[in-house]
Structure 1
Amino acid sequence: MLDNALRKAAAIWVAPDGHPAKLVWALWRDGAALVVTGGTEQRVDGLADGVPCTVTVRSPSTHSHLLTATATARLVTPDEDTALALRTARLNANPEWDSVHRLEFP
């Protein structure tokens, strides 16, 4: 169910331990959610390498709660293919970000 929900979600709520949840754009890729932050994208206080997070996914059509899961954030440097996928999937004309985190689910 997690895989299916995150595949369809364009945005997810991410709450790093000790911080409130923020709605962020996400891309499901290779079994993890990629989240871009900073620059022209949403800032997420407390999101850092190795930090546990609570991720909430809502239905894209009804906006009702679908699931809540625990993930660990990993700061990554996207390779060229991943950066292209992030830019292509993002609807902003010129998305810019300071960092990319890979949210890994146990």
Structure 2
Amino acid sequence: MLDAALRKAAAVWITSPGHEPKLVHAHWRDEALWVITGGTEQHVPGLSDKAQVTVTVRSPSTHSHLIDAKATAHLTEPDDETTQALKTARLNTEPEWDAVYRLEFGA
């Protein structure tokens, strides 16, 4: 269910320890959730390399709660293909970001 929900989600809520949830644009790719922060994108307090976060996915059509999942954030430098996918996923804007995180979900 997590995989299916994340494939359809254009945005998710991320909760870092000690911080309120933040809505961010996200892109499911290579079995991980990619999140861009800073610049023209949402800043997520507490999101850092190796941070343990909770990702909340809501239904794109009804906005009802679908699932919460624990993930580990990895600060990364995306390859060209992933960078283009992140830009394309934003549709109406040309995003500028300070950091890219790959959120991986544990077993």
Normalised by the size of structure 2, how large is the TM-score? 0.96
Counterpart residue type for residue 59 of structure 2: S
What is the deviation of 1:59? 0.3
Partner of 1:8: 8
Task: Map 1:6-85 onto structure 2 (within 5 A).
Answer: 6-85=6-85
C-alpha separation in 1, matches of 2:10 and 2:93: 16
Gaps of 5+ in 1: none
Q: Secondary structure at the match of 2:39?
A: coil
What is the deviation of 1:91? 2.0
C-alpha separation in 2, matches of 1:16 and 1:29: 22
Q: Secondary structure at the match of 2:4?
A: helix
Counterpart residue type for residue 15 of structure 2: A
* Superimposed CA distance per residue, residues 19-73 of structure 1 (whole angstroms, 9 cap, x where no aligned partner): 1110000000011100000000000000000000011000000000000010000
Structure 1 residues 39 and 92: CA distance shift in structure 2, 3 A: farther
C-alpha separation in 2, matches of 1:64 and 1:76: 31
The count of corresponding residues between Structure 1 and Structure 2 is 106
C-alpha separation in 2, matches of 1:93 and 1:18: 31
C-alpha separation in 2, matches of 1:8 and 1:94: 21
Gaps of 5+ in 2: none
Normalised by the size of structure 1, how large is the TM-score? 0.97
Percent identity, please. Answer: 65
Name the stretch that deviates more: 41-50 or 85-94: 85-94
